[in-house]
Amino acid sequence: MQGQDTKIEIINFDLYHKGEIGINANLITTESVVKNYVPKQIRDEIPTLNRMGYMKTDIDPFSQEYIEYSSSIDFPVLELGCAYGAVVQKVLEKGGRIIANDLSKEHLSILFQQTPKRFLENLYLYPGAFPNEIDIPNESVGAVLTARMFHFLDGAIIQYGLDKIYKWLVPNGKLFFIVVTPYHAAIRDGFLSVYQERVESDIKWPGVIKNQWEINPDHKEYVPPYLHVFDIPELQELLPKHGFKIDKIKLFDYPNDVDSGNKGHVGLIATKV
Ligand SMILES: C[S@@+](CC[C@H](N)C(=O)[O-])C[C@H]1O[C@@H](n2cnc3c(N)ncnc32)[C@H](O)[C@@H]1O
């Protein structure tokens, strides 16, 4: 996807019946004609339209495994907070069936219009805020990806959300999960020491930042004031409490992101047990 000020039409989602796993994209016609633009790419990312950060154009190793996994199973997969759907497109190209969720109907409209027609029958659009506005049947998806979206959620919502994901996954289903860490170059100077002190003092949810605009002023135009970052030990404690066994967990940097010493994001793959 290019992110080159492309003119798009916004889908009027209210015209369509939302089935159990969303609206099948094959049924959508673009009779709704609100115009909008895909913002231009900055470095390795495209800003969101709702000030919720950026969508990466590079595919990280965890999302790559999700893409491969999606084509190896018979169940549909779900992506939460997919933005314009860079990963969704790769899943479709590999032959997977995917439910694409995002808070922003505009993002999903852009995804729809950039999806080749031959893939539409395998694409389900599910706009809404995770976890409260999403309800798909229990044991209906083989894998869930959430990349760089959970760091907008508070602790209680995260716990509720993990329990929902657990229910939606088939037995032995997989969760692929990526969030920002306190080591990311954009926030470490203003926040890492605070995080470390909170961990030392055993404070719950030590990664909650309420003043991101102060500590990360360069990104103020594109991000909310709230950010909730995580390190490996916290996730290792959290996931098993919600029924997941962690298969793999690792700090990493995206190849074209600012240099955070290979520690700017944490990714994990976990199995529903
Ligand atoms: C930083 S972008 C990440 C996009 C992409 N997953 C990536 O990793 O590049 C966060 C996306 O999550 C969406 N989002 C934020 N909160 C959400 C929520 N509660 N439920 C669903 N989507 C949400 C935003 O609209 C935005 O498109």
Query: Is 69 a pocket residue for ligand 1 (Cβ < 6 Å)?
Result: no
User: Which residues fall within 8 angstroms of residue 165, CB to CB, at 6 or more apart?
Assistant: 80, 144, 146, 175
State the residue range of the domain holding 189: 7-272
The pLDDT score that the predictor gives to residue 28 is 86
Q: How many domains would you assign to the chain?
A: 1
DSSP code string of 122-166: GEEEEES-TTTT----TT-EEEEEEES-GGGS-HHHHHHHHHHHH
Q: Which of 35-39, 67-71, 168-172, 186-190 has the lowest mean pLDDT?
A: 35-39
Q: What is the pLDDT of residues 222-262, one digit of tens each?
A: 899 999 999 999 999 999 999 999 999 999 999 999 999 99
Q: What is the pLDDT of residues 14-37, one digit of tens each?
A: 888 888 999 999 888 765 545 566
In a domain, 2, yes or no: no
Q: Calculate mean pLDDT across residues 172-183.
A: 98
More confident residue, 157 or 9: 157
In a domain, 30, yes or no: yes
Query: Is 164 a pocket residue for ligand 1 (Cβ < 6 Å)?
Result: no
| pLDDT class of 3 with cuts at 50, 70, 90 | very low
Both tokens of 100, joined, read: 């694409």
Sequence-separated contacts (24+) of 130-135 with Cβ below 8 Å: 130/80, 130/81, 130/101, 130/103, 130/161, 131/157, 131/160, 131/161, 131/164, 132/157, 134/80, 134/101, 134/164
In a domain, 51, yes or no: yes
Query: Is 147 a pocket residue for ligand 1 (Cβ < 6 Å)?
Result: yes
Q: Please say if the pLDDT value at position 102 is more than 70.
A: yes
C-alpha closest to that of 101 among 214, 189, 18, 201: 18
Contact yes or no for 44/217 (Cβ under 8 A)? no
**3-state secondary structure at position 36:** strand
d(CA 131, CA 134): 6
The pLDDT score that the predictor gives to residue 6 is 56
Peptide bond into 240 cis (omega under 30): no
d(CA 88, CA 149): 15
In a domain, 201, yes or no: yes
More confident residue, 40 or 142: 142
d(CA 113, CA 91): 16
Buried b (16+ CB within 10 A) or exposed e, 164-180: bbbebbbeebbbbbbbb
In a domain, 138, yes or no: yes
The pLDDT score that the predictor gives to residue 177 is 98
Q: Calculate mean pLDDT across residues 82-92.
A: 97
The pLDDT score that the predictor gives to residue 33 is 44
**CATH number assigned to the domain comprising residue 181:** 3.40.50.150
In a domain, 200, yes or no: yes
The pLDDT score that the predictor gives to residue 205 is 98
Contact yes or no for 159/56 (Cβ under 8 A)? no
Both tokens of 103, joined, read: 């808070």
Query: Is 265 a pocket residue for ligand 1 (Cβ < 6 Å)?
Result: no
Q: Phi and psi for 100 in degrees, rounded to 5?
A: -105, 115
- Which residue among 67, 103, 252 is best mutated to probe the pocket of ligand 1, counting the most ligand atoms within 8 A of its Cβ? 103
The CA radius of gyration of the chain, in Å to the nearest whole number, is 18
| 102 Cα to the center of ligand 1, angstroms | 6
In a domain, 18, yes or no: yes
The DSSP H or E segment spanning 119 is none
User: Which residues fall within 8 angstroms of residue 236, CB to CB, at 6 or more apart?
Assistant: 246, 249
- Which residue among 41, 58, 102 is best mutated to probe the pocket of ligand 1, counting the most ligand atoms within 8 A of its Cβ? 102
d(CA 216, CA 128): 27
| pLDDT class of 123 with cuts at 50, 70, 90 | very high
DSSP code string of 42-72: BTTEEE-TTSS-EEESSPPHHHHHHHHHHTT
The pLDDT score that the predictor gives to residue 31 is 57
Query: Is 181 a pocket residue for ligand 1 (Cβ < 6 Å)?
Result: no
In a domain, 1, yes or no: no
Per-residue three-class SS string for 163-176: HHHHHHEEEEEEEE
Question: Mean pLDDT, the chain, as a whole number?
Answer: 93
d(CA 51, CA 222): 5
| pLDDT class of 51 with cuts at 50, 70, 90 | very high
